[in-house]
Chains A and B, each alone.
Chain A
Amino acid sequence: MQVKLEGVKKIYGSRTVLDLEELIVEEGCLFGIIGPNGAGKSTLLNIMAGIDAQTEGKVYYGTDRTEITPYRDITLVFQSPYLLRTTVEKNIAYPLKLRGWQENMLRERVEELMEDLDLTRLRKQKAWTLSSGEMQKVALARALSFRPKLLLLDEPTANIDPATTGEIERMLKKINEQEGTTVVIITHNLSQAKRICGNTAMLHKGRLVETGPAALMLKDPENPLTKAFIDGELLS
């Protein structure tokens, strides 16, 4: 699903935290968002997800450019995922129950996701007993369960070990390549952006500084702010 933001601003009191002239996330791409803390990355994602409203501007979804947030086709995985106070498998099944999936189809989909993310052995485990990496995988499985057209992820691998990070990255690439899901990921991990993202946008103080193919932009940035960020010299 394509997302296009035009003149989007988010203002809290007298503070403008996001001010974008235009940003387009093309359908089927794996799009990275980078930038220092306080750059407006999470605000941008929340607006795309429709859980926060922009102060100004418009957000269009899909090629028919609807302004109505298609909640049932979009999902967002938070940095600190909130899991329901129940078992792993019931967490994953929840969005499918909301959508009235038949029991056999639901079970099949939950099994498939648990297998893909190595969660099968944890199926009956209560969500609050999981490690942070396991929690993030459950949140990802739950988000993917209903096959969203747009998947938004806010630093999904922050504070997670390299093996689990690898699992999550493989899953994101798989659904992006095989199912054509549009993925937008915020990351502070530049190697990760290089590994998995097609295009990347650099935000700083709420503004779009630079956008382009991840590999190229991170290797040879055009904007001095992007270069400073990559070199670890840009303060928020």
Chain B
Amino acid sequence: MQEIARGITEAIKMLLSFDPEIYEIVGLSLRVSLTSVIISTCLGIPIGVIIGLYNFPGKRILIRLIYTLMSLPPVIAGLVVFLFIMRKGPLGFLGLSFTPTAMIIAQVCLVTPIIIGLTYNIVKEKADRVRRLALTLGAGRREAVKLLIFELRVGLLAAIVTGFGRAISEVGAVMLVGGNIVGKTRVMTTYIAQLQRMGNYDRAIAVGIVLLLIAFTINAILYNIQEKNG
């Protein structure tokens, strides 16, 4: 318990002291997580909508695969990405090993299936009613899809919030592909893991509290938008 109390004090000190190292780590964490969530959203929502709206051969297998990938262990995602981008890997010539870009790729692999799966479920549940309504009001195919996305916006936002939660709290994949290099690829979660290994529990808890505060703030903003839209 003493560590937790000291951790809280440390967290306040850390934030008020404007420790550049911490702000750099926080900045990188946000940059990596937000970028990966934006990319995953751009990929995941259209794919989820298409799978939800249309029937095609292999759809059932694809859905099962997506559900499996939704709970993909981060270390596996990290390992696969690492094997692709390591110097001797098929994409080694791109020089992405131990860079923030590699961390973003790993997080995109983790977050995209979540957004696809949640979008698919929302679309499957509501698409038929919205499609029928759109037809009865004289909407064309494109207008019907636009209406569907408008109608599903609250659920889609929830999918994005869930994806962000996965990205910001992830440690295994970013550790494997990023390497927790000071000033280059160190993010809050990998830093916490390192502090714990070093026995620096106060600072580990302090960084954990900062991470929670950031996650809370971003979720609060998104939740607020959700509330306004019903």
Contact = CB atoms under 8 A, between A and B. Distances in A.
> Most chain-A CB neighbours within 10 Å: which of B136, B143, B147?
B136
A85 B136 contact: no
A71 B139 CA distance: 8
Contacts, number: 45
A126 B138 contact: no
A78 B128 CA distance: 13
B230 A94 contact: no
Chain A's interface: helix, strand, loop or mixed, by majority? mixed
B130 A82 contact: yes
B17 interface: no
Interface string B139-153: 100010001001101
Contacts of B133: 78, 82
A146 B135 contact: no
Contacts of A128: 230
A142 to B, nearest CB: 7
A198 interface: no
A50 B136 CA distance: 8
B94 interface: no
Contacts of A126: 230
Nearest to B131: A51
- Which of B135, B147, B151, B230 counts the most A-chain CB atoms under 10 A from its CB? B135
14 contacts: A49-B136, A50-B135, A72-B138, A75-B136, A75-B137, A75-B138, A76-B136, A77-B136, A78-B133, A85-B153, A85-B229, A95-B137, A95-B138, A143-B137
Interface of B: 129-130, 132-133, 135-139, 143, 147, 150-151, 153-154, 229-230
